[in-house]
């Protein structure tokens, strides 16, 4: 049944391979708990379900990770029930653990301006590609997997848009401005002149073998640019996504518009950036306003 469920996640829900692997790993923890406790699945009731949460905690999992495992298990049990499995899940009554508030890190506008020129002045095609990666990450707010998955046929240079495929295979359109467009046009001209033994595939961004660049390859390029910039703040491809959202909201864009651009299903996922911007404004106020100093 488990393998059937994983195939369902891949082929019906169109989840990424690494997401399916994570589901499989989470469900394996439940198998380990059953074996360690000498239980069969049909013997698990509310008390045993709470014992599973304790088992996960003793394994050192954070509250966020435990909630993810429980979510994976509930999803599997719903699937099993719809295919003739157990009538009810003992985990339905288990509440998610409280997760400490965590605000995503982001770059200030001036830090982005410092990081982008840190990429080498495009001389070779590969230096041009690296600059394009940084420009597109910031201009579109895409996830790194979405950027790696972009194809030439997804581009609309006239409208300055790109069609991307997000989580669960959902498509949306993202936009880019003049800075990214200028680098992109030069990149496409020089890309057409390339020849590879295996031939150039339809991917927008290539590695040095002429194949689609990987997520890890993009992460390495961002890391190299960060090191060259001298910025002490850590940054990753996802930091550009956080920065994209924060800067749009700071300039007065509607949160629902930002939600659409990011491809978030839930508005609450996007609203974290409004809290982040409020914290930044509060810090600026404390630093700048003459009556903001706290009494000693």
The catalytically annotated residue of 129, 241, 242, 247 is: 241
* Euclidean distance between CA atoms 230 and 283, whole angstroms: 24
Catalytic residue among 30, 33, 138, 273: 273
Taking CB atoms within 8 Å and a gap of at least 24, the contacts of 97-100 are: 97/53, 97/63, 97/66, 97/67, 98/63, 99/63, 99/64, 99/67, 100/63
Please say whether the beta carbons of 20 and 10 come within 8 A: yes
Active site annotation includes 233? no
Verify whether residue 291 is a known catalytic residue: no
Residue 275 is a catalytic residue = no
Chain CA centroid to CA 43, Å: 38
Check: CB of residue 176 under 8 Å from CB of residue 229. no
Active-site pick, 143, 187, 242, 247? 143
Contacts of 92 (CB under 8 A, 6+ apart): 74
- Annotated catalytic residue within 129, 242, 247, 264: 264
Q: Write the DSSP string, 248-260.
A: HHHTT--HHHHHH
Cβ neighbours of residue 43 under 8 Å, at least 6 residues apart? none
Q: Which of 238, 247, 251, 285 is catalytic?
A: 238
**Euclidean distance between CA atoms 208 and 268, whole angstroms:** 40
Rounded Cα distance, 10 and 4, in Å: 10
Catalytic residue among 167, 191, 224, 280: 167
Known catalytic residue at 238: yes
Active site positions, annotated: 143, 167, 238, 241, 264, 273
């Amino acid at each position: 049944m488990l393998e059937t469920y994983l195939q369902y996640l891949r082929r019906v829900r169109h989840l990424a391979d690494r997401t399916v692997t994570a589901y499989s790993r989470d469900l394996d923890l439940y198998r380990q708990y059953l074996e360690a406790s000498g239980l069969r699945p049909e013997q698990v009731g509310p008390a045993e379900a709470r014992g599973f949460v304790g088992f996960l905690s003793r394994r050192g999992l954070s509250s966020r990770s435990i909630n993810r495992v429980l979510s994976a298990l509930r999803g599997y049990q719903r699937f099993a029930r719809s295919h003739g499995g157990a009538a009810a899940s003992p985990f339905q009554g288990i509440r998610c653990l409280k997760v400490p508030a965590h605000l995503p890190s982001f770059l200030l506008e001036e830090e982005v301006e410092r990081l982008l020129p840190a990429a080498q002045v495009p001389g070779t095609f590969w230096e041009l590609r690296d600059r394009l990666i940084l420009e597109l990450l910031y201009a579109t707010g895409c996830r790194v997997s979405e950027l790696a998955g972009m194809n030439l046929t997804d581009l609309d240079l006239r409208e300055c848009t790109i069609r991307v495929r997000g989580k669960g295979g959902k498509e949306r359109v993202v936009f880019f401005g003049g800075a990214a467009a200028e680098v992109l046009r030069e990149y496409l001209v020089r890309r057409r002149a390339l020849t590879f033994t295996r031939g150039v595939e339809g991917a927008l961004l290539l590695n040095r073998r002429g194949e689609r660049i990987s997520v890890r390859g993009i992460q390495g390029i961002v890391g190299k640019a960060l090191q060259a910039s001298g910025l002490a703040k850590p940054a990753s491809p996802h930091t550009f996504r956080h920065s994209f959202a924060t800067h749009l909201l700071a300039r007065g864009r509607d949160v629902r518009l930002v939600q659409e651009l990011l491809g978030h299903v839930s508005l609450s996922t996007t609203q974290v950036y409004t809290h982040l911007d409020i914290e930044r404004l509060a810090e600026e106020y404390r630093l700048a306003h003459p009556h903001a100093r706290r009494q000693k």
